[in-house]
Amino acid sequence: MSHKPSIAIIGGTGALGTGLARRWALAGYPITIGSRSAESATVSAQGLSALLSEKGVSGRVAGAENVEAARAADIVVLTVPFSQHAGMLGHIRESVQGRLVLDTTAPLVPPRVGTVQLPQAGSAAVSTQEALGDNVSVVSAFQTVAADKLQALHPMEGDVIVCGNKREDCARVIELVEATGMRGVYGGPLANSAASEALTSVLITINRQFKCQAGIKLVGLT
């Protein structure tokens, strides 16, 4: 039996969700892929199971509708587009009570996704905390990660800033970051998620200029 926490990935059929699911499943975490459609979730889960077999890794992978996925897991990861963020919080609110919710949301507002437009609460992560209530521990991470590189299982150069109001839950998320092959660094309280969320638009601007998939690295840590 695995001693690793089980993880549900809400919106787990998108690019970032798929990338995280692959890396965590390969690292031995039990994964439930969540989607609005249980059928899509099941198809994704079957694809991931096939990948595990191919790599010779045994693992537990399932697919379910988002609420069912959330209910089953120790850690619930949000990887939905910002346009679906508020609605999804209302949808999963009851099922995530008492749990650690890892929010990866960058509050991009089309069509100007290269321009920082942080929400009224200061950050998407803080609005997640407000919507889910005090009985949920929200931690923020992964906003600056190139989803395509993650999904393709390429080596990752960048670091991941991890913000949250409970240090022990940030430490649990830093373990999850390390399981993806990246370095996770505690970046302060949940309000500091504003930095990573704003960086997403800066990185989009840079990607357009350099035709690349940029990330950020912390330097000078001795």
Report the alpha-carbon distance of residue 7 to residue 21 in Å, rounded: 9
Structure tokens at 107: 């509050």
In the complex, the smallest distance separating the C-beta of residue 40 from its own copies, rounded to whole angstroms, is 30
Report the alpha-carbon distance of residue 198 to residue 117 in Å, rounded: 8
Per the listing, tokens 């001795």 go with 222
* Count of residues interacting with its own copies (CB under 8 A): 42
Nearer to its own copies, 12 or 184 (CB): 184
Number of residues that this document lists for the chain = 222
Report the alpha-carbon distance of residue 78 to residue 86 in Å, rounded: 11
In the complex, the smallest distance separating the C-beta of residue 129 from its own copies, rounded to whole angstroms, is 14
**Residue 157 near its own copies by CB under 8 A:** yes
Q: Which stretch binds its own copies (CB under 8 A): 8-16, 39-47, 99-107, 110-118?
A: 110-118
**Residue 116 near its own copies by CB under 8 A:** yes
Q: State the CB neighbour count (10 A cutoff) for residue 82.
A: 18
Report the alpha-carbon distance of residue 160 to residue 216 in Å, rounded: 8
**Residue 21 near its own copies by CB under 8 A:** no
State the greatest distance between any 2 C-alpha atoms of the chain, in Å, as a whole number.
Answer: 48
Site residues for its own copies, window 198-217 (CB under 8 A)?
Answer: 198-199, 201-202, 205-206, 209-217
Report the alpha-carbon distance of residue 24 to residue 35 in Å, rounded: 18
Among 47, 81, 122, 181, binds its own copies (CB under 8 A): 122
Report the alpha-carbon distance of residue 88 to residue 81 in Å, rounded: 10
**Residue 181 near its own copies by CB under 8 A:** no
Cis ω before 30 (30° cut-off from 0): no
In the complex, the smallest distance separating the C-beta of residue 213 from its own copies, rounded to whole angstroms, is 5
Nearer to its own copies, 43 or 204 (CB): 204
Helix (H, G, I), strand (E, B) or coil at 35: strand
Among 70, 146, 173, 177, binds its own copies (CB under 8 A): 146
Q: Which stretch binds its own copies (CB under 8 A): 44-52, 75-83, 109-117, 132-140?
A: 109-117
**Residue 111 near its own copies by CB under 8 A:** no
Report the alpha-carbon distance of residue 45 to residue 64 in Å, rounded: 9
Site residues for its own copies, window 44-83 (CB under 8 A)?
Answer: none
Q: Which residues bind its own copies (CB under 8 A)?
A: 114-118, 122-123, 146, 149, 157-158, 161, 163, 185-189, 191-192, 194-195, 198-199, 201-202, 205-206, 209-222
